[in-house]
Amino acid sequence: MCEEVTLGMIKAAATRIQGQLHRTPVMTCSALNRISNKQLYFKCENLQKTGSFKARGALNTLKTLLETGVKPELVVTHSSGNHGQAVAWASDALNLPCTVVVPEGTPKVKCQAIQGYNAELVFCTPTPTGRKETADRIAKERNGVLVHPYDNYNVIAGQATIGFELLQEVPDLDYIIVPISGGGMTSGISLAAHYMNPECQVVAVEPEGKNLQNCIDAKERLWDNPPQFLNTIAEGIKTQQLGQLTFPILCNLLEKVITVSDKEMADGCKIIAERMKLVVEAASGAAIAAALSNQCEFMNGKKVGIILCGGNLDMDALPWQIVN
C-alpha cells in the first residue's frame, strides 16, 4: 500500500516514543452518543505533551535521525504553531538547538510555548510560500535539518501511532474522523487502519474552501497556486493543499471528506467543554462538528473514532466567543 510507511515502521515509532509521550486516553460520552446517534470514541491528543498529536511525529523523526548517526547542528521547522511547539519540545528533550518559523499572527499561546521549549522563534509573512522559503533559507545558511510538518515519512509514521493506539483499544471501529491540513495525521491514521483493520474507514474533516473531495475524486491537485492558507478560526488546519507525499496515500485510502464551517467547529469545542470537560482547539472542534452533522448520518449506529487533535487555545479568545 505504502512501502515507505510499513506496519513495522509504525510499531517501531510506537516503541520509540513510548515513555517520553503520553498514551492518551480514549474517552466516551453517553450524552454525545445520544445526540449523534453513534458510539463515539474520543482519542484525546489535546492531552498529549505540547498540547497536540504533533509531538509524536516530531519525536519519532528526530530520534530516527539520531539512531542513524545524524546529529543535526540545528533543527529547523515551519508551522502554524502546534508542529513548531512539538519540534521545539522534542529538540529540547534531545538537546538539539532549534529554530521555528511561524506566520505573523500565530496565537500568542503557541509562540510562548515554542520559546518556553528554548527554541528560537522567527516570524514570516503569513503565506505557505513565505513560511517554506524562510525555513529553507535558515536551514541552508546554518546547516540545519528541516523537519517538515507533514511531508516526511517519519512524521507520518509518528502520527500513525494515534491510529495504532486507538485500534489497539477499540479494534472494531467502523470509522475514524480526522481533521486534515497537510495530511500527515490523516495519512498515518489511514495506514494504521489499513494494516490493523481494513474495514475501518477514515473520513477527513476540512474547513470551508479546501475543496479536498474534488481533488481526491479526480486524483489530481486541482488547487490554485501559489498555495494558500484558508480563512478559518482553526489555524491548525488552515493549509489548503495536501503534501506531495500525503496526497497519493490519501487518494488510495481516504473514504470521504466532510466540510464544516467555523461556527460548527466553535460549537463543537463548546459542547465538548460542557459535556466532557475537555479543552480543545477549533481543529478538534471540526471532528466533533462532523460527527454531529447530518453529513455523517451514514455513520449512525456505528462505532466512530474522533481525533481530538489539539487543545492549544488562547484562553482569552475561546472559539465560541470569537466566531462570527
Ligand X SMILES: Cc1ncc(COP(=O)(O)O)c(C=O)c1O
> Contact residues for ligand X (CB under 6 A)?
52, 54, 80, 82-83, 149-150, 179-186, 236-237, 281, 283, 309-310
- Closest separation in Å from C-beta 282 to ligand X: 8
Chain center to CA of 19: 21
What whole-number distance in Å separates Cα of residue 273 and Cα of residue 109?
Answer: 19
Output 103 or 182, the one with its CB closest to ligand X.
182
Cell digits for 113?
Answer: 510555548
- Closest separation in Å from C-beta 266 to ligand X: 15
- Closest separation in Å from C-beta 179 to ligand X: 4
What whole-number distance in Å separates Cα of residue 142 and Cα of residue 131?
Answer: 17
Output 74 or 265, the one with its CB closest to ligand X.
265
Residue 89 exposure: Cα atoms within 13 Å on the Cβ side: 25
Task: Specify the residue for cell string 535558515.
Answer: 138
What whole-number distance in Å separates Cα of residue 51 and Cα of residue 46?
Answer: 5
- Closest separation in Å from C-beta 1 to ligand X: 18
Please give the sequence-ordered ranges of beta strands (E in DSSP) within the chain, or none if there are none. 26-27, 39-44, 74-78, 98-103, 120-124, 144-146, 175-179, 201-207, 256-260, 303-308
- Residue of 227, 228, 237, 236 whose CA lies nearest to 85: 236
| Distances 34 to 8, 31, 42, 227 between C-alpha atoms, Å | 38, 5, 15, 40
Q: Is residue 284 annotated as part of the catalytic site, yes or no?
A: no
Name 256's bridge partners. 203
Output 106 or 134, the one with its CB closest to ligand X.
106
Cβ(178)–Cβ(213) under 8 Å? no
Output 70 or 322, the one with its CB closest to ligand X.
322
Which one is catalytic: 36, 52, 79, 80?
80
Output 4 or 141, the one with its CB closest to ligand X.
4
18: number of Cβ within 10 Å: 10
Cell digits for 48?
Answer: 498529549
Cβ(230)–Cβ(238) under 8 Å? yes
Q: Is residue 80 annotated as part of the catalytic site, yes or no?
A: yes
Which one is catalytic: 38, 43, 54, 270?
54
Output 57 or 144, the one with its CB closest to ligand X.
57
Cell digits for 147?
Answer: 523537519
- Closest separation in Å from C-beta 261 to ligand X: 17
Chain center to CA of 21: 16
Q: Could you list the active site residues?
A: 54, 80
